[in-house]
A and B are shown apart, each in its own frame.
Chain A
Amino acid sequence: MTSRDKSWASDGGESAAKGNAKSGAGKDGPAWADGLKQLYDDVVDEPLPDAFKDLLAQLDETDDGDPAATRGGAGS
């Protein structure tokens, strides 16, 4: 392994701001590094579509009937 890989997010932190990259075009690293994070965070911040809420609600029902866990077992 070479030292060039260490210039970015060395231990999962977001210290990319320093961007003192030893590799090639490293000085521009932080620009897109922010963009990458933003792409991810934008999705994280999206309101959750109903399909997911529905699915989460259904999970309990897919359970194999632990009496203590059942609430509205009124269905069929």
Chain B
Amino acid sequence: MTEKPPPPKRTAAQKTDFKRELTEVVPHLRAFARGLCGRPDMADDLVQETMLKAWAAQDRFEPGTSMRAWTFVILRNAYLTDMRRNRFRGEYDEGVAERILTAPAGQEEPIHLSDMHRALLTLPPERREALLLVGAGGFSYEEAADICGCAVGTIKSRVGRARATLNAMLAEGNIPQRSVEDAAAHRAILQELDDVAAGKGIAAAKP
């Protein structure tokens, strides 16, 4: 691998652009963080941490590329680091409204948003993350793979498994009361963190 020269210092105009784009993605960062860690207060802390890190690292952002994808990588890494410190345990936020989702045609039992949220938080972290990126965030499998620093096939597999689990839980009303910690999944995601730390994340993946 060739060493990349240090990125050029940003001009004032570029900084303005960066800040505008960063501002625009903050609501998405909050949504992603909320989905990842469940607790709104922790999620918002995570987003603030992400914003500061993104700002500090702005010279490394390539103008014209996706600010949302770039900041999601930062948020994800911050989340994983915090998970390592056992700050998050996929805690379910009891404050989520017991709101009924619009029941689609043909669906007898309405799904409560709180059920959805709880089911999501019972997924192993790396599947939850894949599902959030693709199913909620609208990223393509390729983009999600870039963000997670893993192969496209891995993302597809994770989304497929997450999907099957949610199908089972939500369609059959078989939702665990409390989230569970999946030690194996936890290890898997930490392995990814190591990969990212080793430079196999999105920043390095870009040509």
The answer to whether B23 and A56 touch across the interface, beta carbons within 8 angstroms, is yes
Q: Mark A3-18, 1 if CB is under 8 A from B, else 0.
A: 0111011111110100
A66 to B28, CA, bound (A): 29
The answer to whether A68 and B136 touch across the interface, beta carbons within 8 angstroms, is no
A46 to B31, CA, bound (A): 9
Main secondary structure on A side of the interface with B: helix
Q: How many A-B residue pairs have CB under 8 A?
A: 153
Q: Which of B23, B111, B134, B136 has the most CB of A within 10 A?
A: B136
B141 within 8 A of A: yes
List chain A residues, Cβ under 8 A from B135: 8-9, 16, 33, 36-37
List chain B residues, Cβ under 8 A from A12: 134, 138-141, 143
The answer to whether A34 and B101 touch across the interface, beta carbons within 8 angstroms, is yes
The answer to whether A31 and B35 touch across the interface, beta carbons within 8 angstroms, is no
Smallest CB separation, B165 vs chain A (Å):
10
Known: A5-B159, A39-B120, A51-B44. A31 touches B104 (CB 8 A): yes
Q: Which of A11, A26, A28 has the most CB of B within 10 A?
A: A28
A5 to B141, CA, bound (A): 11
| Complex A-B: 13 CB contacts under 8 Å | A1-B153, A12-B139, A12-B143, A21-B167, A32-B170, A35-B101, A35-B116, A40-B32, A42-B113, A43-B34, A51-B44, A56-B51, A69-B15
Residues of B within 8 A of A (CB): 11-12, 15-16, 19, 22-23, 26-28, 30-32, 34-35, 44, 47-48, 51-52, 55-56, 101-104, 107, 111, 113, 116-117, 119-120, 131-132, 134-141, 143, 153, 156-157, 159-160, 163-164, 166-168, 170-172
Q: Beyond the given A37-B136, A39-B136, could you list 8 further A-B residue pairs with CB under 8 A, ordered by the A residue number?
A: A10-B141, A21-B167, A25-B168, A31-B111, A34-B101, A36-B116, A37-B135, A44-B28
In the complex, the 9 A-B pairs of residues with the closest C-beta atoms, listed nearest first: A12-B140, A5-B160, A40-B136, A43-B31, A25-B167, A28-B171, A35-B116, A68-B12, A69-B12
